[in-house]
Structures are given as structure tokens and as C-alpha cells.
Amino acid sequence: MAGVLVAGGAGFLGTHLCRRLLDSGHDVTCMDDLSTGSLENIEALLDNPRFRFIHQDIIAPIDHDAERIYNLACPASPRFYQSDPVRTLKTSVIGSLNLLELARRNGARILLASTSEVYGDARISPQPETYWGNVNPVGVRACYDEGKRCAETLFSDYRRQYGLDTRIARIFNTYGPGMRADDGRVVGTFVAQALAGDPLTVFGDGRQTRSFCHVDDTIDALARVMDASDDAAGPFNIGSPVEIRILDLAAMVLKLTGSRSQVVEKSLPADDPKQRCPDISLMIERFGWQPRTDLETGLSKMIDSYRNAAAHRRRLPDASLTV
């Protein structure tokens, strides 16, 4: 089935992207090894005749027909990408090579979902696409940071050497319904902790800043970059330009959930960036894109989705009672 291939399509971003593409009338193939994605995420899509799921690791050779390819296949949470750093690096490098070769054989357009982590512990803020970053190449985060930087190099060289239509999007912190609560990323962790009445764990003193973009806005930006008819190689920053301290994020989650949980501090992980905020001038200029969902509204939607998921789990029959 020709159409659109979404590598990593059963993950958080991939699931939302697959839904968006189907709603737009595309034939969609979701490829995922389910190491961090889940069949549950795409369960509602499996009966759609324009949707196909392939259980495959992109580190293995890929044989498929596609007109457009999104490469979203890589663990994005430090908890997961650090659990098997060699595999993480292989996914970004070998996986990207396999998808680029697939695009070359098919004459397909291909987009890399890169990351703000390519900027490392940035020394300037907000970070423009022209900033080369401040990354520790031998640190515990390097498997992801340097893997994505190498993937960007591959995409750029395939464009220069083979004339392949490649696009690079650098995604900053994204949150929303469907985000795993156990992957260690701050928004999902805070919401899950607050709803459970557990302490909210803040690393460091909580004065480090991040910016958070709702998943609907991120997916809209990815689609615009992919759909552009003119030269749109990028890289393009995709994220919210509104910074917030982690302590203030915790306070907002507590307010919106009505939780009485306390905030507790833990030691800051190695190479954790102190400031992370995108300069999105290029996205505004080229595509007229900027986030439309403010953080409080987006968090409220996410909190509702977590509550609904918890209520659904409570209604499920207890397997221990079956015979």
C-alpha cells in the first residue's frame, strides 16, 4: 500500500500523526517495534481500511512502498533511551539510513523528527536553528543527542549528494493525551503524581526552565513542514516560545488537579539543560505557524484524559477473578 509511512507510529507523537493523516484522507502505514509504543495507542485505527500496522524495528532492512515517510522512531524519554544507549544510537543512525535508502528507492519525500536536544545545555536562549549547540558527546544523554545530530547530518547529506527531498523538524517539549505517565518526562509525571496524591518530584531547585507545546500544535507543524511544496529542508524549530520554571509548572498542575500533593526536590541528572526554549521565527515566517493552545488549557485536557483512562481501567474486569 503506497501512501504515507510513519516509523514510530504507535508512540505518543506517532499515534496523533497517524490519526491526523487518516483524517486528511491518506493511506497510512504505521511501523513500530513496540519497544516504547503500544498497540493500545492505535487499536481504534486497526479497523480502518486505509490503515496498516507493521511490527518492525527500523534497524532491520525495510522493504515498503511509500510516497512520504515520517521518521519518528526513537525513544524520546531519558528513562527509555538511556536504558539501552547502544540501541538508541543505532535507531537514530542505522534506522535513519534504512529509511533514507527506502525514500531513495521510492523517490519519496522524508521528514526527520529531530529534537531540541541537539542544542544540549544551550548557552543562548531562545535557541535559533543557526545555533550549533553545546552537547557533551560522551555523556549519558549523548546516545540520543548525538544520535539525532548524526541523523540530521545523514538527512542533509542525502539531500546534497542524491537530491533527496528531505525535511528536518526539531521538536521541543510536547505534551498531551496519550503521553505515557511512566516515561519520566515532566508533564506526564507531574499529572500522574498529582492525581495519585503522590509527591511531585522536581529535579534540582526547579528554577530551570522549559517550554511546552500541546501535541495538536506539534502535529500541525509537522504536517505543514511535510506538505510544503517549495524547498523546506529545514531544520525548523517546533515548540512553544513561552518559558516556564519547573516549579511553576508543578504549581499549575497542583492547581488544575486540585491535588494536595507536596513538591519534593531530587538531585539534577547529569547534563540536564538549564534552559530550553525555541526561537520559532522561521516557522512563523515560512508557514504562518505558531502554537494555539495555551499551557493551562492543554494541561486541563491532558488531566481529563488521564482521569478518563484511570476510570476506564477501574471498570475493566479483574482478571484474577476469572476461571
* Cα–Cα distance measured from residue 80 to residue 170, given in angstroms and rounded to the nearest whole number: 19
Secondary structure (H, E, C), 51-91: EEEEECCCCCCCCCCCCEEEECCCCCCHHHHCCCHHHHHHH
Q: What is the pLDDT of residues 78-95, one digit of tens each?
A: 888 888 999 999 999 999
* Cα–Cα distance measured from residue 154 to residue 232, given in angstroms and rounded to the nearest whole number: 16
Residues of the chain falling short of pLDDT 70:
1-2, 271, 310-323
Domain parsing of the chain, residue ranges: 4-175+214-241+279-292
- Which residues, other chains included, contact 22 with Cβ-Cβ below 8 Å and sequence gap of 6+? 28, 45, 48, 50, 51
Q: What are phi and psi of 28, to 5 degrees?
A: -125, 130
Structure confidence at residue 78 (pLDDT):
81
Contact 11/5 with Cβ under 8 angstroms?
Answer: no
Structure confidence at residue 59 (pLDDT):
96
Q: Which amino acid is at 194?
A: A
DSSP annotation of 120 = B
For the domain bounded by 4-175+214-241+279-292, which CATH number is listed?
A: 3.40.50.720
Contact 173/215 with Cβ under 8 angstroms?
Answer: no
| Residues belonging to the active site | 144
Structure confidence at residue 126 (pLDDT):
94
Instruction: Give this prediction's pTM.
Output: 0.91
Q: CA angle, 223 as apex, 42 and 219 as ends, to 5°?
A: 55
State CA 70 to chain mean position distance.
12
Contact 197/259 with Cβ under 8 angstroms?
Answer: yes
* Cα–Cα distance measured from residue 128 to residue 125, given in angstroms and rounded to the nearest whole number: 8
Which of 149, 179, 251, 146 shows the shortest CA–CA distance to 15? 179
* Cα–Cα distance measured from residue 161 to residue 178, given in angstroms and rounded to the nearest whole number: 38
Q: Which amino acid is at 151?
A: A
